[in-house]
């Protein structure tokens, strides 16, 4: 247990030294590992019954993975930016490659948790053994009694078998655990190769230098933090003004009074402005100068989101 805790702290320290996306993905993976461990200890109980083992074992791996995938899609800002983009403007401004990479970004980010769940489930092996124990051919087991069939093999994961079948149960469990862990390691290898190829493709297709991409990422992060913080203050001040107009006074604490005095809010932004800064953004340039976001583009008074003769469509999309 102490070794596991130490590994988790080392895992966290490495990811907190990386970029925000790596931090997010790492924390998602770590949380998924903990959830899978808890599920295996508390909730997983193989029915040890023919025809039920297979459904239950696959459900234990697939259903949580599907739920985690859908949660990942819902939590991804790209998803709702894409919905807003299609609702307001359609997808006519996107090339096929940009659209493909946008979906790839959404699916890739949402796949971190379900892949982690599947890998840990396969490495543990309990669900795989439960699902496939009844399908082991008795003829593949040396000197297996002929009077026993799939109904007995289905009980192997629960260890509820006659004494003379103990050695066969151990052999079946060892064989299936080997297969399950092999698939788990193969899945890790495939994902690692895909991540490596994706990173290479991204940097090869990008017209920006590495340093400018790093600056762009920092700008997006800072803009998002400042926008959220300012929107919270703006909405609080506007709400205070409206409440005061209705009641004749508003109960504010000391910090809120200072905010109202320091930042006078005269009104709200019209809907066209909100629509202009909402949606999927494809990096572009205007007369050689970069535009790093929809808000940046709106502030510069540039119209449209499609590629222009003096601009570049970058196959890397930002929210």
Q: Looking at 148, 182, 205, which one is the last position of a domain?
A: 205
Domain match, 43 and 168 both: yes
> In this predicted structure, what is the pLDDT of residue 105?
81
Confidence of residue 310 (pLDDT cuts 50, 70, 90): very low
222 domain residue, yes or no: yes
Q: Is the pLDDT of residue 60 over 60?
A: yes
21 domain residue, yes or no: no
Overall number of domains in the chain: 2
| Residue 120 to residue 103: CA distance in whole angstroms | 26
| Residue 138 to residue 205: CA distance in whole angstroms | 54
6 domain residue, yes or no: no
82 domain residue, yes or no: yes
Predicted TM-score (pTM) of this structure: 0.70
Share of the chain above pLDDT 70, in %: 77
Strand partners for 285: 290
Domain match, 122 and 264 both: no
Backbone angles phi, psi at 256, to 5 degrees: -70, -35
From the list 62, 88, 75, the residue with the least C-alpha distance to 28 is 75
Q: What is the mean pLDDT of the chain?
A: 79
The string of pLDDT tens digits covering residues 64-91 is 899 989 998 998 877 887 777 776 666 5
The string of pLDDT tens digits covering residues 252-277 is 999 999 988 999 888 888 988 998 88
From the list 132, 107, 125, 69, the residue with the least C-alpha distance to 194 is 107
From the list 229, 202, 226, the residue with the least C-alpha distance to 283 is 202
Confidence of residue 181 (pLDDT cuts 50, 70, 90): very high
Indicate the SS3 state at residue 286. Answer: strand
71 domain residue, yes or no: yes
Range of the domain at 229: 210-300
273 domain residue, yes or no: yes
Q: Is the pLDDT of residue 50 over 70?
A: yes
Domain match, 131 and 263 both: no
107 domain residue, yes or no: yes
């Amino acid at each position: 247990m102490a070794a596991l805790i130490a590994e988790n702290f080392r895992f966290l320290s490495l990811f907190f030294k990386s970029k925000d996306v790596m931090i997010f993905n790492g924390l998602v993976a770590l949380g998924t590992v903990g959830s899978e461990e808890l599920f295996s200890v508390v909730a997983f109980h193989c029915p040890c019954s023919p025809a039920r083992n297979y459904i239950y074992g696959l459900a234990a791996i697939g259903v949580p993975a599907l739920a985690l995938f859908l949660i990942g899609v819902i939590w991804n800002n790209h998803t709702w930016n894409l919905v807003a983009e299609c609702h307001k403007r359609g997808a006519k401004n996107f090339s096929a490659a940009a659209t493909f990479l946008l979906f790839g970004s959404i699916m890739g980010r949402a796949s971190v948790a379900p892949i982690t769940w599947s890998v840990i489930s396969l490495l543990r092996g309990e669900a795989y053994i439960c699902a496939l124990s009844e399908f082991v051919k008795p003829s593949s087991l040396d000197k297996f009694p002929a009077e026993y069939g799939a109904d007995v093999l289905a009980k192997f994961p629960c260890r509820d078998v006659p004494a003379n079948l103990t050695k066969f149960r151990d052999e079946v469990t060892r064989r299936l655990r080997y297969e399950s862990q092999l698939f788990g390691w193969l899945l890790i290898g495939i994902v690692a190769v895909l991540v490596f190829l994706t990173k290479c493709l991204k940097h090869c297709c990008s017209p920006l230098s590495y340093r400018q991409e790093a600056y762009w990422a920092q700008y997006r992060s800072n803009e998002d933090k400042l926008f959220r913080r300012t929107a919270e203050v703006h909405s609080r001040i506007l709400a205070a003004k409206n409440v005061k107009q209705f009641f004749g006074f508003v109960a504010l604490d000391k910090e809120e009074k200072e905010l109202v005095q320091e930042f006078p809010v005269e009104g709200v932004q019209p809907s066209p402005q909100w629509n202009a800064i909402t949606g999927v953004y494809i990096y572009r340039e205007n007369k050689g100068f970069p535009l790093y976001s929809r808000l940046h583009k709106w502030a510069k008074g540039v119209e449209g989101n499609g590629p222009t003769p003096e601009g570049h469509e970058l196959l890397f999309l930002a929210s």
